[in-house]
Amino acid sequence: MEKRENEKLEEKSENENEKVEGKTRVICVPPVGRCSSFLCSEAKPDAEQFQGALRELKDLRSQLHQAADYCENAFLKEEKKKMILDSTKSYICDAIVAVIDHLGTVSSKLELELCNVAKATQTEQKMDFLRQRLLMCQQFAVTAELATFRYREKLMHHHPQYLSDGQILKKYDSSSRVVEGSRQIKDSHGKEKFGLSGRFQHVETGTEHVMILPGQHGQPILVTPSFGLKGTHNIGGDDKKKMQHNFLAFLSKNRKKSR
């Protein structure tokens, strides 16, 4: 198709040359070339095709400039202006068609280039895989560390040194929540130890949970979850010495644990 069109243009120019009398030539401008990148598009990669199409468009621009200069000079110099005008008109029509064709190929090649972002998505996927693997390794390391941190050979024991009377403790202000409860303090055998059964209060002050036990002489005893006694108590009777001994032992144990 392109060859036939080129041949037609050549024949036309030759006919026009024959018609003109004298030494002058009407149009000796080479015919407008059509885009040839379509023929070998499969062989070249996309980037080269786009570059080739762009190069052809630039060559066409220079060709059109030369043709315009030649037509202008010929129209001014020659006498048969009508012939020159008709040939120029036909050349303009062909040139516009050629320009549109070239622009279409360039734009299509560029769109193909922009749409082929498969490489970017592939690299994105690979990076996501790497990140996932790293996160898994980090999680594994964290869980391993936590396992060593949490495991303790010596578990915490509940000590039966809680003392309680039938005394009711004072209520605290509204800033701390007070939960009243009653519990019978028993030893490991399930018997009631020291004949004690009383009330205790569980207070939340800020972030710390503290248990308050009533003492003998109205002094409350604060007990932390680590079962460290924070107050002193006075107990009358034979159990006093035993309780003090147990209390001291309990304190020493807590100190060792905290170290």
Torsion 139-144-149-155 (CA) sign? positive
End-to-end Cα, the chain, rounded Å? 95
Q: What share of the chain is helix, strand, coil (3-state, %, to 5)?
A: 55, 15, 35
Report the residue number, 94 or 185, with the smaller CB distance to another protein.
Answer: 94
CB of 100 to another protein, least distance (A): 7
136 touches another protein (CB under 8 A): no
47 touches another protein (CB under 8 A): no
Instruction: Count residues near another protein (CB under 8 A).
Output: 21
3-state secondary structure 166-199: CCCCCCCCCCCEEEEEEEEEECCCCCEEEEEEEE
- Select from 69, 78, 77 the least CA-distant residue to 20: 78
Instruction: State which of residues 28, 136, 141, 249 lies at the interface with another protein (CB under 8 A).
Output: 141
CB of 242 to another protein, least distance (A): 50
196 touches another protein (CB under 8 A): no
Instruction: Please name the residues in contact with 254: beta carbons below 8 A apart, sequence gap of 6 or more.
Output: 226, 227, 228
The secondary element (H helix, E strand) that includes residue 221 is strand 220-223
Report the residue number, 73 or 107, with the smaller CB distance to another protein.
Answer: 107
124 touches another protein (CB under 8 A): yes
146 touches another protein (CB under 8 A): no
Backbone angles phi, psi at 178, to 5 degrees: -120, 125
CB of 127 to another protein, least distance (A): 5
Report the residue number, 121 or 258, with the smaller CB distance to another protein.
Answer: 121
76 touches another protein (CB under 8 A): no
Site string for another protein, 84-123 (x = CB under 8 A): -x---x--x---x--xx--x---x--x---x--x--x--x
Instruction: Please name the residues in contact with 145: beta carbons below 8 A apart, sequence gap of 6 or more.
Output: none
Residues forming contacts to another protein in the complex (CB under 8 A) are 85, 89, 92, 96, 99-100, 103, 107, 110, 114, 117, 120, 123-124, 127, 130-131, 134, 137, 140-141
